[in-house]
């Protein structure tokens, strides 16, 4: 079927051009290479004509018109400031008006040469205002949130920030207040700008009126160096820009990547970078005869590591974290199988299952771009299983919300309750408590529209017995395409590199067998809170432990050899995002002595007289059959409920440490129960509620949630007030704090 686009003929500055009907005047000018000054215009936001800077003369109109808000019509004749004295004079007048409250010298503006106000005042208008009266003043700066500051005196009321909050993020807590001359940007009813994406309002502000609390309206230094890079925080694969000064990261911004993150990123990717420079390991550590970790040289540390791993050999378990690059993952896979001779290797530092192992081997490994961001926007329906996009892959959330608001896509979620993110996507909840999901997935066929439908499966589906088999069956029955979205940046690349225990033990089994069948451990960036099993106890049982880490942790404190490795800013590498798209980056701060995991493993292999090769693991391995694991029956005793949980985007994760302003914007932990379950447990809304399992606990206010599955309790994992680190489906005790 051929789609015909209606076109119209317009004239711009004497040039006749044919363009699609409905195109904005300012976009037509851009097509011709004609620059029209603007502030409020942004290609990804709806036009509002708020700043009036982009005025042009249109034949037949009595006065200049805003080019960012008027669509062309057939035969329209347009004159920009380049050919129209009327348009030029109008633009100069608007610029003079905007300069009343905004000094052109900008002594505290970080925009530097990127400021449209400065540039346009010199090219389209005048550098000074003739206004001699008393300027409007405001208290400054004010906190829009704990992370975002606003200088109202610099604001030109372009409404970019408020439109982004409403149209893109779906968090309309920052808005234009008052009217007329008193109009100003503020927060709704004194509520903080509660958004995972607030940093984007800083970046799209054209005049530097918004800034982060840490950067705090400092002037742009002359020696600030900007470099493109890729985000290490999740599997979205965002392109970033990192600003560095004197070997220190000053800030990070979103890079324009239309095929992935467009011009946006989340606050975690924008602000969570101080971890790269705080409490860093600077030299290798080796445990001496007295049991103390002491600094040593690289050659000595490599010799000790090689000797210890040679002894444990095939009885060594290899556990990698989720932040490794493809290059590092390939090195770990080769080291485990070619040097140690073990298949006890797993990249999944979380709850796992053999069903998930077979699912990943058969459905995900080796596939690339079967489902893309563009496909999400074009899909008629999207089914979410074990996946909360806003918390676990925020750019996927933005794309799905964009598609839903356009009316293209209907989002369905198999979950115990409707999250705030699902509401922002106008999604529909398919209610299912833990261990009840399989039947709901099976019955979801009517919601999917054949090949124009997509099923997105999160890593938490591994906690649901039978869910992954049910998802595969559903995809085959309906023709829907299937995509797996892990939470961490390195997981997809690690899977493709072969860091999956085909014929070996998975993460849980390695930890359980340590001290018996597993004698040694090679650990790359895994924290105790990442795994539900007792990792620290396993380390104490092991005969020999080597840790590759960037900073001091509970794991390094128990290891026999600690080898410092480079963080993402110090090395070249590639992350592979959930699409299977490679996101390469280069070191933004080349640091002497900063060595990648791959280089360290290569040196240990050399000490053992071997070398590491890069082989296509999946071309030769026999993939296990995908068999549904039956769910065990649960007997819910009085005072108990079935746990459902996932991590908030902003939590107590190690890569978010040392960023207090970001931490202050994290969502408050709450306990969620259905009205029926709350009544059964004799709990009332707002009461401080305790959720406990053995030594794990969460204490948070109760939020009674309508439409939630009964006999289920939900709390976030690894958040302030919640130290629960358990897979969904566990039986936990629920009671009022103090009882």
**Cα(237)–Cα(582) distance, rounded to whole angstroms?**
8
Mean pLDDT lowest among 172-181, 379-388, 569-578: 172-181
Exposure string of 105-138, with b = 16+ CB inside 10 Å and e = fewer, is: ebeebbbeeebbbbebbeebbeeebeeeeeeeee
Higher confidence at residue 3 or residue 447? Answer: 447
Does residue 707 register a pLDDT over 60?
Answer: yes
Query: Residue 119 — very low, low, confident or very high, per pLDDT cuts 50/70/90?
Result: confident
pLDDT for res 1 = 41
Does residue 181 register a pLDDT over 60?
Answer: no
The overall pTM is greater than 0.85? yes
pLDDT for res 190 = 64
**Cα(259)–Cα(173) distance, rounded to whole angstroms?**
28
Cα atoms in the Cβ-side hemisphere of radius 13 Å centred on 731 = 9
Percent of the chain scored above 70 by pLDDT? 97
> What pLDDT, in 10s, does the model give residues 375-420?
999 999 999 999 999 999 999 999 999 999 998 899 999 999 999 9
> What pLDDT, in 10s, does the model give residues 590-607?
888 889 999 999 999 999
* Other CB atoms within 10 A of residue 182 CB: 8
State the DSSP string of 435-499: T-HHHHHHGGGGG--GGGEEEEEEGGGGGSTTHHHHHHHHHHHH--EEEEE-SSTTHHHHHHHT-
**Cα(649)–Cα(627) distance, rounded to whole angstroms?**
32
726 Cα distance to chain centroid: 22
> What pLDDT, in 10s, does the model give residues 497-517?
999 999 999 999 999 999 999
pLDDT for res 108 = 66
> What pLDDT, in 10s, does the model give residues 459-500?
999 999 999 999 999 999 999 999 999 999 999 999 999 999
Does residue 64 register a pLDDT over 70?
Answer: yes
pLDDT for res 508 = 95
Whether residue 141 has a cis bond before it, omega within 30° of 0: yes
Closest CA to 592 of 274, 244, 282: 282
Name the phi and psi angles at 235, rounded to 5. Answer: -85, 5
Closest CA to 590 of 185, 242, 99, 158: 242
CA pseudo-torsion sign 293, 296, 301, 304: negative
- For residue 531, give Cα distances in angstroms to 522, 630, 718: 15, 22, 11
Task: Tell me the average pLDDT across 10-17.
Answer: 96
**Cα(582)–Cα(588) distance, rounded to whole angstroms?**
18
pLDDT for res 533 = 86
Mean pLDDT lowest among 124-128, 310-314, 585-589: 124-128
Mean pLDDT, the chain, whole residue set: 92
Exposure string of 709-719, with b = 16+ CB inside 10 Å and e = fewer, is: bbbbbbbbbbb
Does residue 2 register a pLDDT over 70?
Answer: no
pLDDT for res 472 = 97
SS3 category, 692? strand
Q: What angle is formed at CA 258 by the lines to CA 68 and CA 144, rounded to 5 degrees? A: 65
Query: Residue 4 — very low, low, confident or very high, per pLDDT cuts 50/70/90?
Result: low
Query: Residue 449 — very low, low, confident or very high, per pLDDT cuts 50/70/90?
Result: confident
> What pLDDT, in 10s, does the model give residues 209-267?
899 998 888 888 889 999 999 999 999 999 999 999 999 999 999 999 999 999 999 99
């Amino acid at each position: 079927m051929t789609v015909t686009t209606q076109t119209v003929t317009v004239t711009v500055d004497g040039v006749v051009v044919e363009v699609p009907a409905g195109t904005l005047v300012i976009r037509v000018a851009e097509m011709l290479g004609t620059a029209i000054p603007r502030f409020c215009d942004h290609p990804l936001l709806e036009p509002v004509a708020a700043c009036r800077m982009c005025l042009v003369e249109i034949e037949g109109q009595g006065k200049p018109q805003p080019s960012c808000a008027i669509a062309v019509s057939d035969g329209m004749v347009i004159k920009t400031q380049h050919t129209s004295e009327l348009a030029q004079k109008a633009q100069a007048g608007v610029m003079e008006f905007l300069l009343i409250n905004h000094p052109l010298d900008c002594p505290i503006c970080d925009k530097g040469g990127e400021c449209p106000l400065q540039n346009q005042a010199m090219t389209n208008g005048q550098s000074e205002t003739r206004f001699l009266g008393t300027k409007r003043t405001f208290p400054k700066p004010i906190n829009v949130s704990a992370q975002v500051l606003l200088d109202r005196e610099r604001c030109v009321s372009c409404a970019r920030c408020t439109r982004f909050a409403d149209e893109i993020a779906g968090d309309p807590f920052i808005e234009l207040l008052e009217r007329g001359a008193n109009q100003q940007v503020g927060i709704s009813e004194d509520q903080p700008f509660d958004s995972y994406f607030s940093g984007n309002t800083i970046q799209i502000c054209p005049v530097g009126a918004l800034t982060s609390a840490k950067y705090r309206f400092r002037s742009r230094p002359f020696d600030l160096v900007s470099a493109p890079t890729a985000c290490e925080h999740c599997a979205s694969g965002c392109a970033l820009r990192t600003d560095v000064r004197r070997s220190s990261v000053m800030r990070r911004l979103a890079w324009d990547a239309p095929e992935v993150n467009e011009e946006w990123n989340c606050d975690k990717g924008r602000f969570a970078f101080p971890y790269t420079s705080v409490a860093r390991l600077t030299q290798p550590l080796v445990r001496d005869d007295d049991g103390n970790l002491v600094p040593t040289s690289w050659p000595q540390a490599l010799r000790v590591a090689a000797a210890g791993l040679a002894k444990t050999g095939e009885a060594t378990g290899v556990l990698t974290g989720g932040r490794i690059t493809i290059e590092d993952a390939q090195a770990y896979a080769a080291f485990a199988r070619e040097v140690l001779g073990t298949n006890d290797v797993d990249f999944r530092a979380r709850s796992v299952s053999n069903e998930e192992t077979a699912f990943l081997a058969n459905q995900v490994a080796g596939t690339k771009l079967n489902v893309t961001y563009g496909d999400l926007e074009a899909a008629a329906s999207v089914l979410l299983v074990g996946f909360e996009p806003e918390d676990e892959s925020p750019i996927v959330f933005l794309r799905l919300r964009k598609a839903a608001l356009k009316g293209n896509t209907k989002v369905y979620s198999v979950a115990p309750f409707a999250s705030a993110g699902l509401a922002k996507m106008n999604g529909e909840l398919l209610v299912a408590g833990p261990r009840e999901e399989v039947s709901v997935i099976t019955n979801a066929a009517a919601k999917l529209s054949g090949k124009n439908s997509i099923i997105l499966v999160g890593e938490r589906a591994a906690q649901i017995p039978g869910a992954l088999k049910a998802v595969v069956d559903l995809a085959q029955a309906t023709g829907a395409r299937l995509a797996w979205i892990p939470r961490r940046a390195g997981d997809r690349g690690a899977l493709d590199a072969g860091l999956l225990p085909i014929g070996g033990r998975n993460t849980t089994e390695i930890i359980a067998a340590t001290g018996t069948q597993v004698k040694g451990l090679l650990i790359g960036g895994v924290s105790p809170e990442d795994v539900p099993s007792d990792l620290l106890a396993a380390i104490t049982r092991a005969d020999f432990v080597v840790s590759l880490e960037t900073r001091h942790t509970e794991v390094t404190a128990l290891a026999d050899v600690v080898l410092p490795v480079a963080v993402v800013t110090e090395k070249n590498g590639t992350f592979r995002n959930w699409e299977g798209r490679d996101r390469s980056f280069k070191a933004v701060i080349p640091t002497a002595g900063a060595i990648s995991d791959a280089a360290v493993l290569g040196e240990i292999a050399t000490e053992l007289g071997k070398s590491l090769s890069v082989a296509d693991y999946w071309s030769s391995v026999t993939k296990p059959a995908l068999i549904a694991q039956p769910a065990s029956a649960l007997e819910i005793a009085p005072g108990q409920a079935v746990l459902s949980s996932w991590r908030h985007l902003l939590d107590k994760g190690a890569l978010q440490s040392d960023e207090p302003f970001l931490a202050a914007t994290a969502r408050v932990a709450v306990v969620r129960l259905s009205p029926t379950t709350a009544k059964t447990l004799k709990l009332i809304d707002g009461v401080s509620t305790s959720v406990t399992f053995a030594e794990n606990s969460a204490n948070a206010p109760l939020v009674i949630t309508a439409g939630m599955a009964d006999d289920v309790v939900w709390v976030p994992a690894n958040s302030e007030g919640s130290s629960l680190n358990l897979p969904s489906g566990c039986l936990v005790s629920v009671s009022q704090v103090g009882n």
